[in-house]
Homo-oligomer: A and B are copies of this chain.
Amino acid sequence: MARGSKEGGATKAVVTDKREAILRAGVRVFAAKGFFNSKVADIAREAGIADGTVYLYFKSKDEILHSIFNRAMADFIEEGRRELEPIDDPTEKLMTIAELHLERLSADRELAIVFQVELRGSTKFMQEFSAAGFAEYLDIIKRTIEEGQESGMFRKDMKPVVCAKILYGALDEMVTNWILSANKYPLPPMAGEVMKIFLGGLLVK
């Protein structure tokens, strides 16, 4: 019994390890060469396994990319929720979201590249991604804005979902520019800049 469970555990651990290794290798390879120019063999080599082994853990090359997105988004959202929970002030919440967004992606440049570039490489991926984690992420922002409107802190003549998209778009552009600029500057401080405009506007009061 003990032995059995031990073996089971070991096997499970191994499985998880290989899956992990493939996903990590996928991020590296996709970031370096782009999804369409990456070969499954590249990923296998990077992960230190045989080509065929990839297919014991993933149905296809596509699925590797999907899994990368899904897992990263799930992590991202979970971390977001955890960090946001103790915060009450909507302004502070938005600021935290912006900071997390940029910190997280600047901490893993390769993952950032996959998100900013590969994710957008096909309408199919975009639609799937949108249906998956992105909608949930946008919803968190939207609800924070609604809270701010309810508390009278945020103006009520704006649709929350539109505001959420504006904030997301601005942050997203910061990340894209940072990637293309070859990391010549730190990304996280841009969160404050974005929030200054998003909250206060460009016009002099």
Contact = CB atoms under 8 A, between A and B. Distances in A.
Copies of this chain, count: 4
Contact of A155 (B163, B180, B202): B202
A180 B34 CA distance: 22
B203 A154 contact: yes
Contacts of A11: none
Contacts of A118: 121
Interface string A142-185: 00010010001111011100110110111111101101100000
Contacts of A179: 123
A141 to B, nearest CB: 11
B166 A194 contact: yes
Given A122-B34, A163-B202, A165-B177, A193 B158 contact: yes
A53 interface: no
B117 A120 contact: yes
Given A36-B36, A120-B116, A203-B199, A173 B166 contact: yes
Interface of A: 34, 36-37, 91, 113, 116-118, 120-124, 126-127, 130, 145, 148, 152-155, 157-159, 162-163, 165-166, 168-174, 176-177, 179-180, 190, 193-194, 196-205
Given A121-B121, A170-B170, 18 more contacts: A36-B122, A121-B122, A126-B176, A126-B180, A153-B204, A154-B203, A154-B204, A155-B203, A158-B197, A163-B197, A165-B173, A166-B173, A169-B173, A169-B174, A172-B173, A199-B201, A200-B203, A201-B202
